[in-house]
């Protein structure tokens, strides 16, 4: 009886729901499988993409290019790197342009690495200013609004 009273006297805490994956690994030089869904964490020293298949930590100081576009730029696709998962980029014909691909080019031990994440604009917007500040580089954003 005493155990029941003690158990019921314990404060109830709201059950925390895990954050729904907002990012999907679309391709790059890392050993994750394409399509691995996860989230991007911005820590003081690095951004980290975490999914069930693993994690990629990119130090801000190693970043040379960040882009958020409706496709992956030819500049990135033509880079001479060892692609582990080549991104399948399909530019929509109907429905207008919308940015979907967040590309990060960075160097580790002098070698270029690429991480391409697929993410919806409404999920990416909160990250843009924070990335600019932490990496001390601008995210090149392709305008997707019709003028």
- pLDDT tens, residue by residue, 3-33: 433 333 444 333 344 568 899 999 999 999 9
Q: What is the pLDDT of residues 20-79, one digit of tens each?
A: 889 999 999 999 998 999 999 999 999 999 999 999 999 999 999 999 998 899 999 999
- How many residues does the structure list for the chain? 147
Query: Tell me, which fold does domain 19-141 have in CATH?
Result: PH-domain like (2.30.29)
- What is the C-alpha separation between 75 and 69, in angstroms, rounded? 13
Q: What is the pLDDT of residue 90?
A: 57
Q: How many CB atoms lie within 10 A of CB 119?
A: 21
Tokens of 116: 């391409």
- What is the C-alpha separation between 108 and 123, in angstroms, rounded? 28
Q: What is the pLDDT of residue 89?
A: 63
In terms of Cα–Cα distance, which of 68, 90, 69, 87 is closest to 79?
87
The arithmetic mean of pLDDT across residues 80-100, rounded, is 73
The answer to whether the pTM exceeds 0.85 is no
Question: Using an 8 Å Cβ cutoff, are 108 and 101 in contact?
Answer: no
- What is the C-alpha separation between 78 and 85, in angstroms, rounded? 14
């Amino acid at each position: 009886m005493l155990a029941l009273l003690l158990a019921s006297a314990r404060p109830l805490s709201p059950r925390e729901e895990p954050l729904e994956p907002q990012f999907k690994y679309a391709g790059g030089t890392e050993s994750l499988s394409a399509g691995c869904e996860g989230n991007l964490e911005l820590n003081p020293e690095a951004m980290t993409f975490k999914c069930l298949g693993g994690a990629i930590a990119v130090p801000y100081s190693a970043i040379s290019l960040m882009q958020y576009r409706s496709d992956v730029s030819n500049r990135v696709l033509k880079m001479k790197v060892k692609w582990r998962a080549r991104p399948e980029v399909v530019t929509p014909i109907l429905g207008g342009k919308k940015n979907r691909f967040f590309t990060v080019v960075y160097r580790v031990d002098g070698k270029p690495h690429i991480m391409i994440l697929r993410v919806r604009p409404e999920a990416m917007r909160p990250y843009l200013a924070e990335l600019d500040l932490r990496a001390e580089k601008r995210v090149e954003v392709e305008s997707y609004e019709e003028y």
